[in-house]
Structures are given as structure tokens and as C-alpha cells.
Structure 1
Amino acid sequence: MRHTAELDKDRTFAAKLGDRGLFPHLAPLVYVNHAGISPPSRPVRLAMIALLDDYAARGAAAFPAWFAQRARLREKLGRLIGAAADDIALVQSTTRGLTDIALCFPWRPRDRVIVFEGEFPANVTPWQRAAAMFDLEVVFLPLGGFADGSGSGLARLEDELRRGARLVAVSAVQFQTGLRMPLAAIGALCRAHGAELCVDAVQAVGATPVDVEAAGVDYLACGGHKWLMGLEGTGFLYIRRERLPALRPAVAGWLSHEDGVSFLLQGPGKLRYDRPIRQRADFVEGGNLNAAGFAGLEAAVDLILQIGVERIHEHANRFLDPLEEALRERGWESLRAADPSLRGCALGVRPPGGASVVELHRELTQLGIACAIPDGVLRFSPHWPNALDEWEQVLLSTDEALSRVRKG
């Protein structure tokens, strides 16, 4: 009997907006938790099985083909953010990428790092640990003044930059509210005041447009299991080429060297410990990678590139617009930015009457609505497979869930 992956290995899969046909195993009635963890599509699953089958059949002889696959993946990830393949490294998560920068950055004692209150901890903890190791100061700024169009958030950031800072760390999209941060304006302020910009892009890349050149981003880290629709344990790190010479290779491993594997392939006398560390972003790839996960990630990225991130962003917001309006009419508080240019692809809301979001989430799960409750905010996050009329089911189920919670 032939394996499913073997039967489908030459098949091209087509992604269509609003069609979840490539997710035959997906159980919830409506899946709107892509800001949490995306379910793997059939192409993702088959790509991973194909890698496993190849290694099962050929062992080490399979390595060159999948090494080349990861080179293709870097190029495709670069396309998603306007970067070259050589500026992309594959890492296991957003946290890993941010930690690599925090450990390798050329800090000086008493340098200041600016972060924001309300950020996901992955974009705070690495800077706190770097502060403890390198005698830095971490400065927290509120997120207020970014979503309301007042400009006060940028003004507050500029005031702090005038006091001196080496680096600003910010998320491209905030995880609770879906607020799309004005990266280009932040990047311009950083350049004007001699600071570098590091972006946690896990809530953006794959569904919200990001352009590292246009925004002047110096470093960007992104996990693969949310809007990229791959699996946990995959991600990537972008490093602006001009920043590489100053970085200290504190996280380098045996695969970070130039010609690091030559002693395994070219006969005797090649084993050395003095080979230079690569002057490319992938110097952080110090050891073996999650080969199966990255095979799956390429399949997921291929689907996103087929559709286009701009179209996905528009589609998700067309889903959320009527849902937000209907929930507001029912007394829910929306945390979504009024300005469409400041929106990612998630809607965060708070229920009327102080209803428990934990209980609401439990009821919604039972009703077949997959969503999330980050820090007490009920969050709906659709992606390209969600049909536009599914918002009506989300609304009906939310009404029912609230009714059940109120009845106790």
C-alpha cells in the first residue's frame, strides 16, 4: 500500500480565501484562534510526512535535499517581509530569535532599552535578562496614544529617545488588541536618535503586511505557528546586514562556522576549531534544526504567498468588521483601533456586565468556537481559510454563551 504522502507528492495545492477544504481534520465549527496556534493544513502535514519518509528510506543521504529545502524557505520568508534570503536565519521561536539578539547585541554598561507595557512576555523577558547580565536599564512606556490617533504614543517615545536609548523593542501587532503599531514612524524616530529597532512580528507576518526596509527595522523575530500557519518549534530571525559586524556571536555553535561541515565530507585534516563565524544572519543556527517542522513551514508559506498578505489582511478585517459592529450594539467593549491602518487581524473585546471571560470561553468552546482569552480579553482572530459569513455563527454562539453564563 502506498503512503498518502507518496500519492500526493507531485500535487499542487491551491489556497482559496474563505475555503477550509485544506483542513479536513479541523474539528471546531469556526476556528478564530490563529493569533494563538494555527492548525496545520493538509499540505503542511504531507510535507512533514514526506521528509520523515525520505529519512526513513535513505537516512543521512536524505540530508542534502532537505538542507536545500531550508534555503528555499529562507528566500520565501524573506519575501514576506521584504528581505533577502541571506538576512534570514531559521530559529525555533520568536523567543529564541529575540534572545539571540539580546545576547549578541554590543551592549555597553548603563545602556537603555525601551519596551512597552502590555507586550507579550516573549518581547520583555529577553531584555530583562540582558539587563541583568550586561548592566542595562529597561524602560517601560505605556501603549496609550498609539491606537487613538492622537500621536501621543510617538511623542512619548521620542521624549524617551532624547534621553538616550540603544534599542527599542516592540511588537508589530499587539497580541491582546490586534493594534498594528506604526513601525515606519517608530523606525524613523529610532534612526533620528541613534537607536536600533527590534520587532516581535509573530502577530503580523503571514496576515499583516510587514516591510523591514520601509520601516527601518534592524532585527525581527517571528514564530511559525500563528499567522504563518506552520507548527510550534519553527520560526525565523531577520538581521539587517549592516548590523552584523557589531554583533557578538555569543550564541554560535559548531554549525555557525564557515565551512563548518567540511571535516565530515572532505577527508582527513579538515577538523579545525579556528574557522571564522559566518557574517550572515544564520550564524545563530548553531546546531541541527527542526527539519520536519521547517518542511511543513514551507508548505504553509507557499499557501500564503499564493494568496498574498495584503489580500489576507483585507479578508480577515472584512470578517471582523460586522462582528465588531454587532458586538458593540450588544454592549461589548471593543479594543480594536478605529483607524483601519492600525489594525492587524484580531478583534479583542470585553463582555458587558462584567461577565467572566473564562466562563464565556468555556461555553464558546463547547459551542464549537475556537478563540482565546489573553489576559482577560476575548479575542477572535480569523485567517484566510475562514469564510466571511462565519462571523454570523460566532455572533450567535457568543450570544448563547453570554446567556448561559448569566444564567449560571
Structure 2
Amino acid sequence: MAPSPDFDAYRSEFPVVREQLYFNHAGVAPTSRRVVNAMHEWEEDLLLHGVRYERGWEARAERTRGLAARIVGASPEEITFVRNTGHGLGLIAEGLDWRPGDEVAVATSVEYPSNVYPWMHLRDRGVSVREIEAREGGVTPEAVAAALTPRTRLVSLSSVQFASGHRTDLDAIGALCERAGVLFCVDGIQSVGCVPVDVKKSRIHFLSADSHKWMLGVSGMGLLYVARDVLPRVRPVLVGWRSTTDLWNFNTLHFELRPDATKFEEGSHNFAGIYALGAALELLLEVGMEHVAARIQALLVHADTRLRSLGCDTGPSPEHRAGSLTFLPPGGEGDVKALAAYLTENRVSFSVRRGRIRVSPHFYNQPEELDRLVALVRGFSGR
């Protein structure tokens, strides 16, 4: 791995640090100056020139598609732009050729609703959801293996569970699904931009992720990966002029779907969002995902050690950790609501999930900022 970058040099990209202790990247992240400038670039172009430089917009879209492919280890032909994670998962759920009696294995007790409702919505097509038993807030390969039956067509899991922060062993589960002849679908919103992701290494068929969390982008813009070998099996739910091979010919009808993932893009692009996504991904790739992940892990170790010294109950354990740390104050669950209010009053951004405080720093955060969080927890507990 190349030498570690100067993380503090990037803090000027995130003026939110002047206002808050921001540890909520697993919820909604602040974006960077680069992203805002990229959005303004397209808006100014539209304002001053109308559609005159539209070819440049299209070129930027393809450049962004390439960056999205790089960050998940795919090829550009396997990437389509989506509005959000649920949009991408819904395209897969509604587009596959289900048969009555098919099963989808999902850990509904711990998954975010975006990775549950699209599969439940298939009931009227005779598809049932089979529960994967989750333990300690996470899903193990053994639990997935126990849930598989001859009727299982697809396993859908989050790469990292939103509430607990438990990281899923995607490599092991991908290999398991491959041996069983089962499709593997991943909600990647809690990992893309936080830890290195390699869809090929993990044998993933589908991965969807919005950019407003760890990618440091904006809400309403995300990516969907569809593996090349299963692309023909997924029917676009919506089609339009952009879905076709002769997309710029508006005078002659020629309905032939594009052979790659762009067949899911039915109409005009959200160019402001695409410019934003491109700038966000460029920043992460510039820092390097290995460096980003190592920095986040170091920050979490720093916070974990100090919170436990106060008597806090913390999780998940380091071997199951990605970007989030959850904790209970020394007073236990009964103090969570009061502590959350106290931290909010002191301009700390975080989340409460399943009765625990969840903190999720990013690479530009500093250990000293986490020390200030710990000092606030200590001050609250000492009242």
C-alpha cells in the first residue's frame, strides 16, 4: 500500500467540521466542496449555455460510470445509475424471472427496510421470503447455509448491517451462493466508500448503493452493479429512449434494448447528481480506499478504547467492524435518550439505532474530535 496521505489536508473540503462533531456518515454524510463545485459547474453550464454543450454532459456521465465501476471492482458496462439503494434493489426484485414457489433468503430481523420490502412485494408472484437467522446483529455464512433450500433463488444481504455495524463476510457467502447455484444480491450502502469493495472477488451478482452516506455524495444519486453474465436475466421494469441501442435516433422507431446495464436507464439523466457522484468518487479514489478504510478503523479503535474505559458497552467487535461503532453509556439503555439529547445540544451528529448510540466517522475526522465526544459522554455520566 502506498504511503498514507495527509488526512488533515482534506478537512478544508468539509466545512461542516467548523460547526459540528460529525460522526453520522452511516446516516447522512456532509458532502465536500468538490461535490458542490461539480454540481454548480453543470448548473452554470445549463444557465449560461442551455443545451449547447450537452455532449460534454454525456461524456461526464460515462466518466462517472467508469469511476463507479472502479470503486466496486466492476466494468463500466455493468454499472447503471439509480436514484437510491431501494431503487436499485427494486429493479432487480421486479426484473427477475420468478416462478411460483421461489424463495428469497433475507435476514429481515436486522436488515434495513430497503432490503426487505422489495422482496416482500413479490408475494403476489408466488415468491416467499425465507428468514436468515441473525445473531448479535449480524449474518454469518453458517446462518445463510442453514437458510438455503432447493427453492432458494436469491440471497440478499447488507454488506454491513445498518443498526449494529456488523460487517458481513461477503467473500464466504458469495462462494457459498456460487456452490449452491443461488444469486447473490448486496445492499452496499454501508460499505461503498467506507471499505474496499470487490464484487468479482466476492462473487456478487447485484449490488446497489446510494451516494449520500460513505461515498460523501448527495441524496438521490447512486449506482447499481449487475454482473455481465446475469444481465440478460433481468428485464427492465421501465424502458424509454435511453434504454435502446439507437437512442439518439428520434425519427425512426427501433426497439432493441441495450445489451449492458444502461438498459435500466430509461430517460434523461440527473446530470447534477451524476456530476456530484463523479466528484465524490474522484475524492475517495484520490485518497485510496485502503487508506480510507485504515483511517476509519484507527478512529474506531481510538473511540472504542476510550469509551470502554468509561464503562460503556461497545460493539461490534473489531473483527466484525466496518465504519460504525455503537455503544451504551455506563448507565445503560435507560440513559440513551437523555445522552442523545445532550450530545445533540453540544453539536454532535450521530444516530440512535435499535436503542444504541451509533457513531460513524470518516477519513477526514480526527482522533481529537473523538476525544471531545468521549469527554462529553464522561461529563454526562458524571452529572
**What band does the TM-score fall into relative to the shorter chain?**
over 0.9
Of residues 362, 368, 375, the one that matches 1:389 is: 368
Matching residue within 156, 174, 188 for 1:187: 174
Q: Distance in 2 between matches of 1:97 and 1:364?
A: 35
- Give the Å deviation of 1:261: 2.4
Matched, 1:337 2:321: no
After superposition, the Cα gap between the structure-2 partners of 1:77 and 1:239, relative to the gap in structure 1 and judged at 3 Å, is same
Identity %: 33
Q: How many residues align?
A: 376
String of CA shifts for 1:64-100, please: whole Å, max 9, x gaps. 1111101001101111111011110011100100000
Match of 1:62 among 23, 47, 53: 53
2:11 aligned residue (17, 20, 39): 20
In the other structure, the counterpart of 2:87 is: 96
Correspondence for 1:294: 274
1:199 to 177, 186, 193: 186
Residues 283-333 of structure 1, C-alpha deviations (whole Å, 9 max, x = no match)? 111122321121111111111001111111110111111211222232222
Q: Secondary structure at the match of 1:378?
A: strand
Distance 1:160 1:66 in 2: 46
Letter in 2 for 1:395: V
Where do 1:335-374 residues align within 5 Å? 335-339=315-319, 342-353=320-331, 354-374=333-353
The CA deviation at 1:403 is 4.6
SS in 2 for 1:80: helix
Residue equivalent to 2:146: 159
Q: 1:163 to 1:332 in 2, by over 3 A?
A: farther
User: Which of 302, 305, 309 pairs up with 2:285?
Assistant: 305
Post-superposition shift, 1:159? 2.4
Measured in 1, the distance between the counterparts of 2:380 and 2:238 equals 48
User: SS of the residue aligned with 2:184?
Assistant: strand
Q: Does 1:47 align with 2:38?
A: yes
2:113 paired with 1:121: yes
Is 1:164–1:193's contact at 8 Å kept on the other side of the alignment?
A: no
Q: Displacement of 1:200 after TM fit?
A: 0.4
Name the CA distance, whole Å, in 2 between partners of 1:401 and 1:132. Answer: 48
Q: State the Cα deviation string for residues 210-264 of structure 1 (Å, max 9, x = none).
A: 100000000000001001000001000000000011122222233211112211x
Contact 1:200–1:220 (Cα < 8 Å) also in 2: yes
**Of 393-402 and 85-94, the range deviating more from structure 2:** 393-402
Shift in CA distance, 297/403, structure 1 to aligned 2, threshold 3 Å? farther
- In the superposition, relative to structure 1, how do residues 403 and 252 fare at CA in structure 2: closer, same or farther (>3 Å)? farther
1:284 aligns to 2:264 (yes or no)? yes
Give, in whole Å, the separation in 1 of the partners of 2:27 and 2:77.
29
Q: Which amino acid aligns with 2:303?
A: L
Displacement of 1:21 in angstroms is 1.1
Q: Which runs of 5+ in 2 are unaligned?
A: none
Partner amino acid for 1:127? Answer: W
User: Any idea what the Cα deviations from partners look like across 1:119-157, whole Å, max 9, x if unmatched?
Assistant: 11111111111x22321010122221786xxxx932232
Q: Which amino acid aligns with 1:110?
A: G
Alignment TM-score, normalising by the size of structure 2? 0.93
Distance change >3 Å, CA 401–CA 49, structure 1 → 2: farther
Report what 2:134 is aligned to: 143
Structure 1 spans left out of the alignment, 5+ residues: 1-14, 264-269
Range that drifts further, 84-93 or 386-395: 386-395
Distance 1:227 1:396 in 2: 26
Distance 2:293 2:228 in 1: 29
Instruction: Provide the alpha-carbon RMSD of the alignment.
Output: 1.8
- 162-171 or 298-307, which deviates more: 162-171
Q: What CA distance in whole angstroms lies between the structure 2 residues aligned with 1:240 and 1:226?
A: 24
